[in-house]
């Protein structure tokens, strides 16, 4: 047992020393997590989209149209940036000044309402950015629906119907909407787990892609075999070394990010770090298998980046996985990031326990075993066929 630990300690120290001589890998592994996580946090620090600029074209210029404009401006999500009182070509104005929406109140709007002609307010949404477009649509629709209901009730009251009866006649039922999770629509809470997991994946795979490739290129793999020719010892010295380095970086970085950007804390910290551990190890075995298969750092890096680059898109973070073609779903399920992000979201936003995320834990364990076996057979092949 003493020899076992001594051997692993020797291999781990060798790997860390070997890694420290690779300047590019050091910069990626140490610098990228810090830079990307801080950058992501600051970009989405405001968390909720507010004061989106809209343009009002008021062709009626009546007391009622002014009430509409005031109500729109009072909504927290939109800001009435400019009001025009004549119709003109608006396309170029929207492009130049980045208006999210144009609300056009027609001529004789108030008069037509009083005469029951049911005038129409035109709302043109700038959907170039779907996120801001959806926020603006929801805000404008809420304000106009509320005002529409108020106008209808005022009409009934003018006919002599009491207000409480007018309200009941206009509203046959009420709708109460509440949000179970992320009630404030905090965009940082939604996106940060996905970005953090993707950064973890990119950094780990990129560094591990260099681990064996650098050994083969610099002819140091033979030196490693002089210490041990066991694929088991070689694989474990690699992933344990990078796990130790990763823990020294990621644990304080994630903790500080939670605190500084005021992200809600995960109740079950042990579960979170346990799932993160499974994610790291499965990535490590994937990286080792690919890195040991190719003879150069460049080839290993190219292959792993081909795998890693689209993984965020097909992970289900921004588009439901169930809505993707079955072939894409099968590929996505073979990538650890997919299952880690699903578990991360549930733990962060839903305070899920281990039974809630058992399917994701099971998937990560299966991938861990599969990638370990692949890594083992590839490294064993390399050991048996290595020529000095």
The rounded distance, in Å, linking the Cα atoms of 11 and 225 is: 11
pLDDT band at 171; cut points 50, 70, 90? very low
Task: Please tell me which residue, 157 or 9, carries the higher pLDDT value.
Answer: 9
DSSP string, 123-179: EEE-TTSHHHHHHHHHHHHHHHHHHHHHHHHHHHHHTT--HHHHHHHH-SS------
Query: Rounded to two decimals, what is the model's pTM?
Result: 0.74
Structural contact between residues 348 and 193, judged by C-beta atoms closer than 8 angstroms: yes
Min mean pLDDT across 138-142, 219-223, 248-252 is at 248-252
| DSSP codes joined into one string, 89-107 | --HHHHHHHT-SEEEEEPT
Q: Which tens digit of pLDDT belongs to each residue from 66-75?
A: 988 998 998 8
Q: What is the pLDDT of residues 78-104, one digit of tens each?
A: 899 999 888 777 777 887 788 888 888
Output the pLDDT for position 361.
Answer: 95
Cα 30 to Cα 19, 24, 127, 162, 205, distances in angstroms:
12, 10, 39, 70, 14
pLDDT for position 360: 94
Portions of the chain given CATH number 3.40.1710.10: 52-170
Answer whether residue 169 shows pLDDT above 80.
no
Contact between 348 and 189 (Cβ < 8 Å): yes
Residue 375's CB: how many other CB atoms inside 10 A?
A: 26
52-170 CATH choice from 3.40.1710.10, 1.25.40.390, 3.30.460.80, 3.40.50.2000: 3.40.1710.10
Neighbours of 247 (CB within 10 A): 14
């Amino acid at each position: 047992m003493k020899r076992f630990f001594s051997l692993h300690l020797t291999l781990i120290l060798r790997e860390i020393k070997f890694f420290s001589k690779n300047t590019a890998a050091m910069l990626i592994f140490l610098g990228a997590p810090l830079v990307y996580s801080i950058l992501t946090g600051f970009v989405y620090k405001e968390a909720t989209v507010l004061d989106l600029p809209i343009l009002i074209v008021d062709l009626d210029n009546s007391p009622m149209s002014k009430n509409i404009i005031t109500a729109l401006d009072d909504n927290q999500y939109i800001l009435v940036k400019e009001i025009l009182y004549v119709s003109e070509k608006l396309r170029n104005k929207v492009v130049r000044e980045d208006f999210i929406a144009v609300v056009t109140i027609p001529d004789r709007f108030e008069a037509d309402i009083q005469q029951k002609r049911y005038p129409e307010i035109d709302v043109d949404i700038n959907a170039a950015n779907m996120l801001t477009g959806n926020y603006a649509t929801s805000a404008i629709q809420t304000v106009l629906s509320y005002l529409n209901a108020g106008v209808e009730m005022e009409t009934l009251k003018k006919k002599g119907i009491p207000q409480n009866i007018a309200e009941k006649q206009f509203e046959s039922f009420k709708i109460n909407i509440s949000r179970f999770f992320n009630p404030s629509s905090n965009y940082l809470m939604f996106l940060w787990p996905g970005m953090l997991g993707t950064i973890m994946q990119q950094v780990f795979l990129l560094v591990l892609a260099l681990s064996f490739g650098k050994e083969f290129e610099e002819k140091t793999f033979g030196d490693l075999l002089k210490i041990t020719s066991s694929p088991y010892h070689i694989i474990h010295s690699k992933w344990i070394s990078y796990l130790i380095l990763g823990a020294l970086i990621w644990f304080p970085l994630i903790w500080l990010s939670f605190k500084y950007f005021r992200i809600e804390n995960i109740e079950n910290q042990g579960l979170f770090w346990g799932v993160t551990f499974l994610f790291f190890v499965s990535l490590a075995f994937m990286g080792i298998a690919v890195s040991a298969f190719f003879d150069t750092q460049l080839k290993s890096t190219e292959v792993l980046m081909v795998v890693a680059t689209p993984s965020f898109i097909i992970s289900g973070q921004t588009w439901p996985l169930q809505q993707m073609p079955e072939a894409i779903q099968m590929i996505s399920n073979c990538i650890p990031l997919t299952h880690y992000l699903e578990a991360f979201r549930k733990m962060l936003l839903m305070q899920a326990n281990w039974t809630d995320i058992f399917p994701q834990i099971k998937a990560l364990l299966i991938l861990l075993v599969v990638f370990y076996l692949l890594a083992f057979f590839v490294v064993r092949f390399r050991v048996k066929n290595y020529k000095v």
